[in-house]
Amino acid sequence: MNCLIGQSGGPTAVINSSLAGAIQAGIDFDFENVFVSLNGIEGLLSENIKIVDKDLFEKEKANERLRKRPSSILGSCRFKLSDDLKDWQYKKIFENLKKYEISTFVYIGGNDSMDTVMKLNSYIEKNKIDWVNVVGCPKTIDNDLCEMDHSPGFASASKFVNSALRQIRLDCDIYPIKSVTFVEIMGRNAGWLTATSYLANYKRKKDIVNLVYLPEDKKLLDDIEKEIKEKFEEDNNLLIAVSEGFMDKDGKLLNEKQKSFDKGFNHPIIAGIGLKISDYIHDKLKVKTRSVELNIVQRTSFLISKTDSDEAYQLGYLTIKYGKEKTNLVPILKRENSKDYKVKYFTTKPSNIANKEKKIPQEWLESREILKEKITNYTLPLIKGEIDQEFTDGIFDYIRLEDFTKNN
């Protein structure tokens, strides 16, 4: 009886916390071998698979060190399985699962990765397979996974974003001239991460972030210009957070030629809206503007929320615990209705997450004051605590895959 773990989709700062939890559960629940697939489902197809050395895992303190290590240590992919269950991919996948005597396969990923989990379970059901369970483990910085209160990885990304915003503000305030700095934050269709920019203002007498623009907003460029003029009456130096997926109502800033698409799920890879708005406001208001694009460091920062890491670890652990007995499930968390922050863990089907997106509740967007209050109360408990990091000669350091794995 062996288990296999893979990672898929975009990385997060705590995706390896889930991996650590799953590996530890594999050891605790007496799986003979714990295998890991490199580059997700592609690694399973090509047999790019390594085995966890249980002695090294303990000796190198990998359980603890994986929780310090951001981004996907197993590598990732954006591989979309065919909708046709008769496709060769499925036969090959299950042949390899059989070859390695896998009884539980854990796939850590977001809503696209849950599409993979869903399809593999459809194949299991269609072919009446009873020797392997396929389960998902959730993650994404976008916080757009349905069925759960929040997504693992979101809190650590928010912690980094707000720390960066406060640092950027320190630079913005040094010159006695009018200026606008636009900070572009990840979020293609859902503006959760950008909305948390209001946390930068928490317990500050003066606003760090003056305005926030989300994909959910329907604003004309004239509206943006007007709001910036109004904010200039309060402060000479403005800091504005904008989602990468924001677009003005008329689409005047749209440039299809600058888009590219990921290979598997054909999602547009978008960036540059901050620079476009910056140039527009510079031309209109004749003030100093600049754009800062936080980009991929948002999801690979070593500034990790301990709360986020603890929850991701627990979800990873539960995938093996539950996946040992059942297939077609994803462990999720929900917030308890209590004074102190607590969560409870449940399970749902991957079909309830796959290819779906959870947006910011419409009632939160009725006014910016409501959004500030709601998003602050929602996010603040999630970013509590820090993971102590490793440094070698003053340089950030981290565990390597070869520190706790070996070839078959």
The helix (H) or strand (E) run that includes residue 5 is: strand 2-7
pLDDT of 136 reads 98
Binding residues for diphosphate: 10
Binding residues: 10, 111, 140-142, 186-188, 244
Give me the catalytic one of 112, 142, 144, 248. Answer: 142
How do beta strands 179-185 and 288-293 pair? parallel
Superfamily classification of domain 154-299 = Phosphofructokinase domain (3.40.50.460)
pLDDT digits (tens, 9 = 90+) for 75-106: 999 999 999 999 999 999 999 999 999 999 99
DSSP state of 53: -
CATH topology of domain 2-153+302-356+385-403: Rossmann fold (3.40.50)
| pLDDT over 60 (residue 33) | yes
How large a percentage of the chain has pLDDT more than 90? Answer: 91
Question: Which one has a higher pLDDT value, 251 or 333?
Answer: 333
What ranges do the domains of the chain cover? 2-153+302-356+385-403, 154-299
Q: Which of 70-74, 232-236, 250-254, 320-324 has the lowest mean pLDDT?
A: 250-254
- The pLDDT mean for the chain works out to 94
Query: pTM for the full model?
Result: 0.94
**Helix 306-323 × helix 154-172 angle, to 10°:** 160
Binding residues for Mg(2+): 111
pLDDT digits (tens, 9 = 90+) for 156-170: 999 999 999 999 999
Q: Tell me if residue 55 is catalytic.
A: no
What 3-state DSSP class applies to 106? strand
Q: Which of the four pLDDT bands, split at 50, 70 and 90, describes residue 252?
A: confident
Q: Angle CA(158)–CA(152)–CA(123) in degrees, nearest 5?
A: 145
What 3-state DSSP class applies to 329? coil
**Helix 273-285 × helix 221-232 angle, to 10°:** 70
What are the DSSP calls for 360-386, one per residue? PPGGGGS-HHHHHHHHHHHHGGGG-SB
pLDDT of 260 reads 43
Residue type, 304: I
Binding residues for substrate: 140-142, 186-188, 244
Rounded CA separation 407/264 (Å): 28
Rounded CA separation 161/193 (Å): 8
What 3-state DSSP class applies to 198? helix
- Per residue in 347-384, is it b (16+ CB within 10 Å) or e — as a string? bbbbbebbeeebebeeebbeeeeebbebbeebbebbbe
Nearest to 137 by CA among 31, 22, 302: 22
Nearest to 212 by CA among 259, 271, 277, 155: 277
Nearest to 138 by CA among 323, 245, 14, 20: 14
